[in-house]
Structure 1
Amino acid sequence: MFKFKSPSRKTLEVMSEVAKGNGDKDFEEICIGKIQSLTHKDNVRMTSSGNNSIFIALSSVEGDIIVPDEGAWHGFRQIAKFLNKNLITVKTDDGLIDTDYLDNLEISDDSALIFTSFAAYTAEQDVKAINRYCRNNGILTIEDASAGVGDREGRLGCKSDIILASTGSPKIINVGSGGFVACDEDEIFKKTSLPQKLSKTTNVVCSGIDSELDNVSEKLELSLNATEHIKKHIPDTLHASKRGLNVIIPHENAKSICWNLKKTLTTDKSGMITTCPNYNRVKQRAICVEIKNLDYSCLKKENLEKIIEEVNNQLQV
């Protein structure tokens, strides 16, 4: 049995001490400083959840909200509709944004494109190209970097106009709740003072985020390397050459294969196998092995080999 990702013991101990009233550090301010360094943004607000971070970011947009047609987070669409924003869907290549597709859209002024650092968690977006196109065409970019914070390559979680993240489970910064929004333009926060007030988090949560931020880059790298190893040893994976945090295998018999894998690749809490079609992943039939859900202690070679063996066995049936 594999272990589902949870906050580290150190993080839980720090949060426990703060909850008991021990210490007088302002962890919110400490987190803001660390996130400014990671995202290269001047302004940061801590929030109570990733969805509240999205709510704040989308509340600042006057024009249309552009979302990928798959491989994103369904909350983008739900929150945009709740805010009564005009929603535009851009075609993708299995979740990857090709800016040529944006040329075919009628987009109003002051619009924004919101996307995740990794399409369907399985393939790194070309954030540099996306931002270059959007800046040349007056489109704000909002990157949900819940899975991209701390990228050692410096390509994710720092290039877009607004960087936001969830620090809930099982994200890279894993506290169980919380999130943040980061940007350079202070005007964005001036326009969203009310949703910010409704999304305050606690010093306890911020103490956990502070602890998790200390080794976020190492944890992301470990997960990326594990996924890369598995992709190399399972045939016909989607976006096989791209960095990612899960493995997606298109297959006509995905439903039955996933059913069987859920019996053999078990975790102590939520599962690690997702069945597609699924907007948050891909809209075709596929098996998704969620490496991002696994505790870092499970990302050892012998465990990765078991995943490879079980998946390949099912694909050959």
Structure 2
Amino acid sequence: MMFEFKSPKKETKKIMSDVALGKLDNINFEKECEEKIKELTNSEFAKVTSSGNNSIFVALSSVKGSVIIPDQGGWHGFKQIAKFLGKEIISLKTDLGIINPNELNEMDIPDNSALIFTSFAGYTGEQDTKSISKYCKNNGITTIEDASAGIGDEKELLGNCKISDIVIASTGQPKMINVGSGGFITTNDENLFDETSLPLKLSKTNEIICSGIHEEIKDVKNNLQLTLNATEHLKKHIPDSIHNEKRGVNLIILDDDAKQKTWELKKQLPINKSGFINKCPNYNRVKTKAISIEIKNLNYNCLKNEYLDKIIDAVNNLQQA
């Protein structure tokens, strides 16, 4: 049984091709796309960018104070971009990536600072965005949520500008909005885009990418739910995955022999393109020895029970050996 790496749907490829060939010059896809993003994120202002990292760059450019970054379970680009911009970086202690806002009480945080985090810690544990937002709003801290993996949440707890001040996302492969390139930034702060006009100009993308995002947004809620359901099924049948009770789009299993077991699982669960089984330590997941199984990377036809049961059997047999 061969697993398949996630790719854009055929309708997305078709419309992007048509735009590239000049067949749809009568449609302003950038404008249409930004309207869809605003609707999806409950926001008043949105801009499409050339990548997720460029969206981060724009968001962090607006921060006048320090940038607070989780000590693990985030995205390595947070720190790299903050350093490039000359921002003071404050590391926030977490529970394997899960943010407890009370930890911020113990820290000396300058005025006008911002907390940047991902919807899911290490992609595996849903952040409590409401409690994070409540604390930060009460203490003058801007919240920037990277919702690349949480966009389209039917519960509207993730990727929602009524909760997080700024929502950013990548739409590159294999994100929830899966175009191969691009990203966006969205907010209810009317001043944000005026303050970041130069980085926004440098981050501008094209109509081809906008058309793809516009098409992929149609299915993002269903696709996220399929991924959440598949991961929940795996967590129920594979013991000892971290944040087992939380929603997520992958599962991470702590294991002192992670290197060897990751190698064995890759042989037993082959995929047609890039891998979906990785070893930790890895800042983007957890900074301890573990196996990460990236359900979010799989094509949706591979989220059926026959594929999930193959993963369950392979992992449990290896753990019991």
TM over 0.5: yes
Q: Which amino acid aligns with 1:9?
A: K
Q: 2:194 aligns with which of 183, 190, 205?
A: 190
Q: Match of 2:252?
A: 248
Counterpart CA distance in 1 for 2:106 and 2:282 is 25
Q: Which amino acid aligns with 1:249?
A: I
Q: Which amino acid aligns with 1:58?
A: L
Q: Deviations over 1:88-107 (max 9, x none)?
A: 00000110000111111110
Judge conservation of contact 1:265–1:272 (CA < 8 Å) in 2.
no
Counterpart CA distance in 2 for 1:84 and 1:105 is 20
Aligned: 1:168 with 2:172: yes
Q: 1:69 aligns with which of 60, 63, 71?
A: 71
Q: Deviations over 1:102-149 (max 9, x none)?
A: 111110000000000000000100000000000000000000000111
Q: Match of 1:135?
A: 137
The residue matched to 2:106 in structure 1 has which SS? Answer: coil
The residue matched to 1:248 in structure 2 has which SS? Answer: strand
Counterpart CA distance in 2 for 1:28 and 1:176 is 17
Aligned: 1:216 with 2:217: no
Q: Match of 1:267?
A: 271
Q: Counterparts of 1:1-317 in structure 2 under 5 Å?
A: 1-23=2-24, 24-158=26-160, 159-317=163-321
Counterpart CA distance in 2 for 1:29 and 1:314 is 50
The residue matched to 2:48 in structure 1 has which SS? Answer: strand
Which stretch of the first structure deviates more once superposed, 184-193 or 81-90? Answer: 184-193
* TM-score, scaled relative to structure 1: 0.99
State the superposition RMSD in angstroms: 0.6
1:307 CA displacement: 0.5
1:78 CA displacement: 0.2
1:265 CA displacement: 1.2
* TM-score, scaled relative to structure 2: 0.98
Judge conservation of contact 1:46–1:201 (CA < 8 Å) in 2.
yes
Q: Which amino acid aligns with 1:155?
A: L
1:237 CA displacement: 0.7
Q: Which amino acid aligns with 2:167?
A: I
Q: Which runs of 5+ in 2 are unaligned?
A: none
Counterpart CA distance in 2 for 1:235 and 1:150 is 28
Counterpart CA distance in 1 for 2:299 and 2:28 is 29
Counterpart CA distance in 1 for 2:33 and 2:185 is 12
1:185 CA displacement: 1.1
Q: Which runs of 5+ in 1 are unaligned?
A: none
Q: Which amino acid aligns with 1:185?
A: D
1:278 CA displacement: 0.5
Q: Which amino acid aligns with 2:22?
A: G
Ranges of 4+ aligned residues in structure 1 off by more than 4 Å: none
1:25 CA displacement: 0.6
Q: Deviations over 1:261-301 (max 9, x none)?
A: 11111211110101011100001111110000000111111
Counterpart CA distance in 1 for 2:12 and 2:270 is 25
Counterpart CA distance in 2 for 1:197 and 1:295 is 34
1:155 CA displacement: 0.5
The residue matched to 2:253 in structure 1 has which SS? Answer: strand
The residue matched to 1:29 in structure 2 has which SS? Answer: helix
